[in-house]
Amino acid sequence: MDAPEEPTGRGLGINVAQRLSDPDVADRFTALEAVGHHSSDLIVVLNHGGFVVYGNPVAQTIFGVTPEEGVGLNALELLHPEERERVAGRILSIYDTPGASVRDAVRVYTPSGELKDLEVVVTNFFDHPSIHGLVVNGQDVTQRNRDQRELTSLAERFRVAFAENMAPMTFTDLEDRIIDVNDAMCEMVGYSREELVGHDSTVFTYAEDVGITEETHLRALAGETPRIRYVKRYRRKDGRVITVEVSRATALDPEGRPQYFIFSERDVTDERKMTAELSKRALHDPLTGLANRSLFEDRLAQAHARARRHGGCGAVLLIDLDDFKGVNDTYGHVIGDELLAAIADRLRRVARSTDTLCRFGGDEFLVLVEEITGAEEAAAIAERILEEMAAPFSLRGTTFVQRASVGVAAFDPTAEDVATLVQSADIALYEAKRQGRGRVVVFTPSMHQEAVSRFTLAQDLSRALERGELWMAYQPIIDLATGAVVGYESLMRWRHPERGAVPPDVFIPLAEQSNLIYDLGAFALGAAAEAMTRLPRSDGYPPYVTVNLSARQFHDRNLPELVRQALAAHDVAPHRLLLEITEGVALEDIAESLTLIEELVALGVGVALDDFGTGFSSLSYLVQLRPRAIKVDQSFVRPAAPSPQSDAILELIILLGRKLGVMMIAEGIETPEQYHRVRGVNCRYGQGYLWSAAVGLDEVEDLVARLDEFPPIDHSRRRRGRVSERHGAGPD
């Protein structure tokens, strides 16, 4: 690092009075000071020499200085001597990269000699005209670290008392992370102490029962009771599932605040199995093993009584299989019965341990959910059931997709009678069937009015094409190595004269319910073909255009001819068109899908798999489908919790595509960090808001000009001149 600048009038390292007396310098910090004054975090600005030029009130409090005392301090000299060289090296690493930042945990001395622990992020804002320095943003974690050390010490004193206990025992902190476990606990779950300490109980908790732990943890933190007892399932390291009775106690400090938690547990698997076996024959359906109608009605009455006594909401979900009669007629009742049993298994995977599952009769199932917030949560549970049902079933060498519809009826403590709940759910189910099946509908008194509104919107959509209210927007697809635009995804938009912009996820399902979807599909193909004649060339080569297809559009036998006509009408090369479908759409009928894809390939048109990784991702099907491009779902590009594992998964997906000779496109890139992450795993193409949202055709040329003039990424290897033909329409 360069030698520190002296805090003289040459730079910003001057006293506050001098700085504020200079209008130019004062103006530069007006916005920053406004932010810093209201921030609860430490904010400090350093100049090139590492001297403080600004510190907000939080920083002044942490370091115990006045504004006049703080300005001009050498930040490096405040660091603990053992950390100066390391921190200086990390800061030096971002000096030449505007916008770059480093995160670190550091120890510092205040001017009075007090040692503090800080967690900071240092960001290079030297290129910022208003800041021109390093911005340090952070928090004082001294007390938190001290508390953690004290808690660990306290746990160690208790360890000897429980280490030899025959009952499995666990200590956790206030965030429910394991501090210590005894040998009996390790033996029960099959994990070693080293594999458990530092993690929460999700390591060994059965996935569907994680919510039980979270709920009891919140109750314990709230101090509802000093001891909570509940039952949940654990998945041992060897995969075996056991049922455990858990007793959670809260240790309090002298002021009565929660300090840590003590768990004592008992394996009740065999005990529960015996009890379950006794009641199963009388109260369960012999085919699926689910509750029968008698047991369900009893559980529903109990749930209603609990809701009235203790509050809370519940719901009844009525599930009906779409065209189950066709399964029996085509494959026979043996396959039909096996399908019902398989569906029961999938319901068990989705259900929580507190839910009641019932075979209501024939091809109808009931689910009773309790302790929910209301109808919205019940609908979300129903949606998860449909997602679980969406995967193909394979029975006796036959693979097929079995869809379902769900009607939901919710109740709360004010409900006088729940005897009509199943009937209400049935009314909602009828509405779901009427809307086109394969969906969830929640019963409400205003259901009729809502249906009228949807019908009116569907009528408006049927006239939207002739009125010119529908149009196509185009989002650029970028060669991440060069920054060049290689293609565009075309996206349909509806500008309603009264409602304004209607989202595609609203009007596309309306079109799917009628033959209108075919008109919209033809319009999208024609618009894409016309756009190919007007889109600007990228590095001398014409870009390709992708068009999204719904399930009904893709499986339409007239699709190849419709594509051929659209391309011929505008005289554009077929290889410039890519048709996007999801994995689920392709696998609805794999034989039919392969036939359609062969016809499209014969025309020269390519197929792209959209949202890859969120569906089935079957390698055998992937080889059969032979897509020209794969669009990696944005959940892999920007995972909710980035980790080495998520990076490895993304790298494996990209490597798989490249090995198969497929064009890999990363979706949803929004930040430079996400761009570098994708490039780091050798993904060649991407799209997202980092470059642009979808724009109208008339705006594309200006968009390309902006990208050329102000590239969001410094493509150090950006090439000029004509690229290879495959650059424009296929994989590397």
Tens-digit pLDDT profile for residues 21-41 = 344 444 566 667 778 888 889
- What CATH number is associated with residue 339? 3.30.70.270
Once rounded to an integer, what is the mean pLDDT over residues 136-159?
Answer: 84
**Domain membership flag for residue 277:** no
The token duo for 116 is 């503090």
Give the separation between CA 304 and CA 523, rounded to whole angstroms: 52
The token duo for 566 is 């659209």
In this structure, how many other beta carbons lie within 10 angstroms of the beta carbon of residue 490?
23
Question: Does 480 lie in the same domain as 382?
Answer: no
Rg (CA), the chain: 31
Write the burial class of residue 23 (CB in 10 Å: 0-12 exposed, 13-18 middle, 19+ buried): exposed
Tell me which amino acid residue 580 is: E
Average pLDDT, the chain: 85
Give the separation between CA 55 and CA 46, rounded to whole angstroms: 9
Once rounded to an integer, what is the mean pLDDT over residues 701-710?
Answer: 82
Residue 730 has what pLDDT? 42
Residue 451 has what pLDDT? 54
- What CATH number is associated with residue 45? 3.30.450.20
Tell me which amino acid residue 122 is: V
Name the DSSP class of 537.
Answer: P
Question: Does 654 lie in the same domain as 539?
Answer: yes
Give the separation between CA 582 and CA 560, rounded to whole angstroms: 18
Question: Does 555 lie in the same domain as 684?
Answer: yes
| Residue 216 scores a pLDDT above 80 | yes
Residue 12 has what pLDDT? 31
| Residue 198 scores a pLDDT above 50 | yes
Residue 345's SS3 state is helix
Please report the beta strands in 388-444, taking only residues with DSSP state E, as ranges in sequence order.
393-395, 398-400, 404-411, 440-442
Tens-digit pLDDT profile for residues 460-489 = 888 888 899 999 999 999 999 888 999 999
Rounded to the nearest 10 degrees, how much is the dihedral formed by the CA atoms of 164, 165, 169, 173?
Answer: -60
**Domain membership flag for residue 690:** yes
Instruction: Classify 473 in phi/psi space as left (phi over 0), alpha (psi -120 to 50) or beta.
Output: beta
Give the separation between CA 87 and CA 427, rounded to whole angstroms: 66
Tell me which amino acid residue 526 is: G
Residues 6+ apart with CB under 8 A from 100: 93, 94, 123, 124
State percent of the chain over pLDDT 70.
89
Write the burial class of residue 419 (CB in 10 Å: 0-12 exposed, 13-18 middle, 19+ buried): exposed
> Position of tokens 């007239």?
558
pLDDT band at 729 (very low <50, low <70, confident <90, very high): very low
Tell me which amino acid residue 593 is: S
Residue 105 has φ and ψ, to the nearest 5°, of: -110, 125
The helix (run of H) or strand (run of E) holding residue 523 is: helix 516-532
Single out the residue of 371, 294, 359, 362 nearest to residue 325, CA to CA: 362
Determine contact, residues 649/635, Cβ cutoff 8 Å.
Answer: no
Residue 717 has what pLDDT? 45
Question: Does 619 lie in the same domain as 537?
Answer: yes
Instruction: Classify 668 in phi/psi space as left (phi over 0), alpha (psi -120 to 50) or beta.
Output: left
Residue 261 has what pLDDT? 92
Question: Does 102 lie in the same domain as 169?
Answer: no
Give the separation between CA 21 and CA 96, rounded to whole angstroms: 31
Q: Domain ends where: 106, 140, 174?
A: 140
Determine contact, residues 171/180, Cβ cutoff 8 Å.
Answer: yes
| Residue 340 scores a pLDDT above 90 | yes
Rounded to the nearest 10 degrees, how much is the dihedral formed by the CA atoms of 510, 511, 515, 517?
Answer: -160
pLDDT band at 715 (very low <50, low <70, confident <90, very high): low
- Bridge-partner residues for 407, per DSSP? 318, 441
- pTM, two decimals, is 0.45
Tens-digit pLDDT profile for residues 594-614 = 888 899 999 999 999 888 876
Beta strands at 404-411 and 227-235: parallel, antiparallel or unpaired = unpaired
Determine contact, residues 316/307, Cβ cutoff 8 Å.
Answer: no
> Position of tokens 């005990």?
271
Question: Does 257 lie in the same domain as 133?
Answer: no
Give the separation between CA 646 and CA 662, rounded to whole angstroms: 21
Question: Does 225 lie in the same domain as 207?
Answer: yes
Query: How many whole angstroms from its chain centre is CA 113?
Result: 46
Give the separation between CA 440 and CA 443, rounded to whole angstroms: 10
> DSSP alpha helices (H): ranges in 72-209?
75-78, 84-92, 142-163, 183-189, 193-196
Tens-digit pLDDT profile for residues 366-400 = 999 998 999 999 999 999 999 998 899 998 888 88
Residue 454 has what pLDDT? 66
Residue 155 has what pLDDT? 67
Judged by average pLDDT, the poorest of 237-251, 452-466, 700-714 is 700-714
**Domain membership flag for residue 480:** yes
Residue 679 has φ and ψ, to the nearest 5°, of: -65, -30
Please tell me the total count of domains within the chain: 4
Residue 721 has what pLDDT? 36
Write the burial class of residue 525 (CB in 10 Å: 0-12 exposed, 13-18 middle, 19+ buried): buried
pLDDT band at 286 (very low <50, low <70, confident <90, very high): confident
Once rounded to an integer, what is the mean pLDDT over residues 150-162?
Answer: 73
Instruction: Classify 227 in phi/psi space as left (phi over 0), alpha (psi -120 to 50) or beta.
Output: beta
Residue 5 has what pLDDT? 41
Residue 3 has what pLDDT? 38
Give the separation between CA 574 and CA 603, rounded to whole angstroms: 7
Q: Domain ends where: 111, 140, 169?
A: 140
Judged by average pLDDT, the poorest of 115-119, 236-240, 639-643 is 639-643
Judged by average pLDDT, the poorest of 277-291, 443-457, 648-662 is 443-457
Q: Domain ends where: 116, 140, 164?
A: 140
Give the separation between CA 367 and CA 290, rounded to whole angstroms: 10
Residue 501 has φ and ψ, to the nearest 5°, of: -70, 120
Name the DSSP class of 176.
Answer: -
Question: Does 206 lie in the same domain as 118?
Answer: no
C-alpha distances out from residue 65 to 56, 58, 77, 254, Å: 11, 10, 15, 34
Tell whether the torsion through CA atoms of 642, 643, 647 and 650 is positive or negative. Answer: negative
- What CATH number is associated with residue 686? 3.20.20.450
Name the DSSP class of 595.
Answer: H
Judged by average pLDDT, the poorest of 15-24, 650-659, 684-693 is 15-24
The helix (run of H) or strand (run of E) holding residue 582 is: strand 577-582
Question: Does 185 lie in the same domain as 54?
Answer: no
Determine contact, residues 495/501, Cβ cutoff 8 Å.
Answer: yes
The token duo for 724 is 């290879």
Single out the residue of 530, 529, 522, 609 nearest to residue 574, CA to CA: 529
Domain that holds residue 477: 468-729
Tell me which amino acid residue 20 is: L
Question: Does 260 lie in the same domain as 166?
Answer: yes
**More confident call, 587 vs 423:** 423
The helix (run of H) or strand (run of E) holding residue 517 is: helix 516-532
**Domain membership flag for residue 11:** no
Tens-digit pLDDT profile for residues 526-562 = 999 999 999 998 766 789 999 999 888 888 888 999 9
Question: Does 337 lie in the same domain as 354?
Answer: yes
Residue 450 has what pLDDT? 64
Residue 732 has what pLDDT? 35
3-state secondary structure 347-398: HHHHCCCCCEEEEEECCEEEEEEEEECCHHHHHHHHHHHHHHHHCCEEECCE
**Domain membership flag for residue 69:** yes
Question: Does 380 lie in the same domain as 247?
Answer: no
Beta strands at 241-252 and 258-267: parallel, antiparallel or unpaired = antiparallel
User: What b/e sequence results for 183-201 when a residue is b if at least 16 CB atoms lie within 10 Å of its CB, and e otherwise?
Assistant: bbbbebbbbeeebbbeebb
C-alpha distances out from residue 138 to 62, 79, 126, 343, 497, Å: 11, 15, 19, 51, 49
Determine contact, residues 353/208, Cβ cutoff 8 Å.
Answer: yes
State percent of the chain over pLDDT 90.
45
The token duo for 235 is 């998945």
**Domain membership flag for residue 724:** yes
**Domain membership flag for residue 458:** no
**Domain membership flag for residue 276:** no
Tens-digit pLDDT profile for residues 555-586 = 888 899 999 999 999 999 999 999 998 877 77
Residue 562 has what pLDDT? 93
Query: How many whole angstroms from its chain centre is CA 75?
Result: 39
Gap between the terminal Cα atoms of the chain:
42
Query: How many whole angstroms from its chain centre is CA 204?
Result: 23
Give the separation between CA 75 and CA 135, rounded to whole angstroms: 12
C-alpha distances out from residue 232 to 238, 310, 348, 352, 713, Å: 18, 21, 15, 10, 50
